[in-house]
Structure 1
Amino acid sequence: MKLLHSLTLVAALLVSACTSELATAGPAPTPPETQVVRYRLVAVPLVEPPPHPPKREPPPLRLVAPNSSRAHIVDKGGNEIRRAPKGRSIAEMKVSPKRQWVLLYFGDADYTVASVDRLKDIAKPPIQPAAAADATGFRWLPLDDDRLIGYAQLPSLKPTKGLTASEADGLPPRGTLVYIYTIATDAMSPVEIDESVPQPFSISDDSYGNLAIEPHSGLAAFGLKILQSP
């Protein structure tokens, strides 16, 4: 009986000590709030390429017979790594700045990000914005080693009665939407368009990956800069 009484006292003391320690420590800290990254697109002067640009190392992969059913990608040794999907084609291939992944375009706003090693799919950027309902599909381009930048057009609302099909298709869009897609997190963020950017516009790139704003108004091209804030 004495032994049982002693064990009961020890257990009570342990419970009391643990309770006191938890009370001193206070409630568990709450995780910090997730910060939403905000982007803003601004126009800057377009930097002209040097008259004699330095030679670039050829990309580790090469697209053969693009825009055809025979489209395929080969490595430096000419070995086939990936073929076009059945009934489709590979229209375009762009390599990330540090050559860690490639952006493949199959047509109809269908893109895939694949690793340079064996061209294994690692991300699938969205085909079109969630809103507006009539927005076109995205045109995606590499922004840096971690993100893509994409734009979609908002078709013109002008009446097309009396116009030919080509004339109707030639009406300039009423505006442009821009988004940034983060590959690692599969997250897409809208980009605010600065007043310095003439609407509507397209975004293009050169062989060095430099991005430019192409206004539909016929103005000269601008360079672009992405400002980021939490």
Structure 2
Amino acid sequence: MSVEIALRAARVRYGPLEALHGLDLPVPAGTVTVLLGRNGSGRTTALRALAGTVRLSAGRVVWRGTDVTRLPAHERARRGLCLVPDLEAVYANLTVAENLALSTPGAAPGAVTPPYPELLPLLSRTAGTLSGGERRMLALSRALLAVRARVVLVDEPSLGLAPPVAARTYRSLAALAVEGGAAVVLAEQRVPDGLPPGSLVYELRRGSLAFSGEPAELT
């Protein structure tokens, strides 16, 4: 199981508060990795540190053996990293079709079929007028349509989704890892059902690693 991307002794500070305390977090390729923890545990900060949307105060981000700590977020995205945050994950002033087109470079608005059929009748609507669940499906479409993504980071995948849609979402994200070979990292408050074999769980508590292993070992 090869490591795709990793945090090495990573520390992140927000003013006087330290959110990550020297965190080591290896993320394998072709695997679903779950970052488990309560609010304030450091899950979201770990995702942002991998994506480059927050700076490390110490430590490194290593991607395929190369130190990318100083590489800005947009350059990481160009190299195949996709981040789906829990909030403000869509362009509210653009239509659903325009948001989908941004997920597929070179595609014209209306030419991209959404991975969620529920979005088909909403293509002409502006994203800011959608419900919370509809916005979440639109945001997740960015990851599911990223054909060349090597690292997919999703904060709270099932936020606002009905249970059947959430179950379908987890199957689709698992396919990115199992079939597409991507390193898929999910920030969760509990271990989701239906994880593929070989999935990993890292439990964070107050910015430090409290557990690492397979989901069955945690339960």
TM-score (norm 1): 0.29
**More strand, by proportion:** 1
TM-score (norm 2): 0.30
Q: Relative contact order (alpha carbons < 8 A, sep ≥ 6): 1 or 2 greater?
A: 2
**More helix, by proportion:** 2
